[in-house]
């Protein structure tokens, strides 16, 4: 019980610390001064800055600034938190990524993406059991979400944490995986007995 309370207090401290740093200085935004439309517009501009389609070259620094500006316009814009977290995750800034995904989870309670992203961040940080719990939460929010199902199953196999659901998930991915690569991967694991 003490360990659980200690972990909970650490997570709370991390969340509160992330609130101050993850908002890009927007913590003084009041509900009356929120601009959700501007936040959405800036978030879409940031997504465009990350588009690698020629002739464009992705500009992560500009995208990061646009996302921070979006959060200054509306601190409660979940997609901006989620996208900023994804940018941080790609840069290996795991603490900041987790903080942004935590915000996005709270602001987008019915959406699996922030939970999937948080799970991947936890997995990258070596917190495999917590990652598996977060993958399960994403599936509880959005059952059969294929990207989550794929990531969770890969995590279970990669880290030798197979469960009674792993084989069923492999069968589902083998039939309906997002790409040919995922379907082939699952088929090979089924032939090899899940390894």
Decide if pLDDT at 9 tops 60.
Answer: no
As a whole number of angstroms, the distance between CA 145 and CA 130 comes to: 19
As a whole number of angstroms, the distance between CA 97 and CA 102 comes to: 9
CA dihedral 108, 112, 118, 124 (to 10 degrees): -160
Angle between the 128-141 and 113-124 helix axes, to the nearest 10 degrees?
A: 170
**Interval 114-132 mean pLDDT:** 98
Query: In this predicted model, what pLDDT tens digit does every residue of 39-73 receive, in sequence order?
Result: 999 999 999 999 988 888 999 999 999 999 999 99
What's the pLDDT score for residue 33?
Answer: 80
When the pLDDT of each residue in the chain is averaged and rounded to a whole number, the result is: 86
What's the pLDDT score for residue 172?
Answer: 97
Instruction: Yes or no: say if 69 and 42 are a contact pair by the CB < 8 Å rule.
Output: yes
């Amino acid at each position: 019980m003490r360990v659980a309370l200690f972990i909970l207090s650490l997570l709370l401290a991390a969340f509160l610390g992330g609130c101050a740093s993850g908002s890009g200085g927007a913590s003084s935004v009041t509900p009356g001064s929120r601009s959700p439309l501007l936040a959405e517009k800036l978030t879409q501009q940031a997504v465009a800055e990350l588009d690698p389609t020629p002739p464009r070259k992705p500009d992560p620094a500009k995208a990061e600034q646009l996302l921070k500006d979006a959060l200054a316009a509306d601190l409660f814009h979940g997609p901006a938190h989620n996208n900023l977290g994804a940018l941080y995750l790609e840069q290996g800034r795991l603490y900041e990524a987790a903080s942004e995904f935590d915000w996005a989870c709270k602001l987008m309670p019915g959406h699996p993406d922030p939970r999937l992203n948080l799970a991947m961040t936890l997995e990258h940080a070596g917190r495999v059991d917590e990652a598996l719990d977060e993958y399960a939460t994403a599936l509880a929010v959005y059952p059969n979400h294929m990207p989550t199902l794929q990531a969770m199953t890969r995590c279970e196999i990669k880290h030798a944490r197979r469960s009674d659901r792993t084989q069923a998930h492999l069968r589902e991915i083998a039939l309906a995986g997002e790409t040919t690569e995922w379907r082939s991967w699952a088929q090979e694991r089924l032939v090899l007995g899940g390894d």
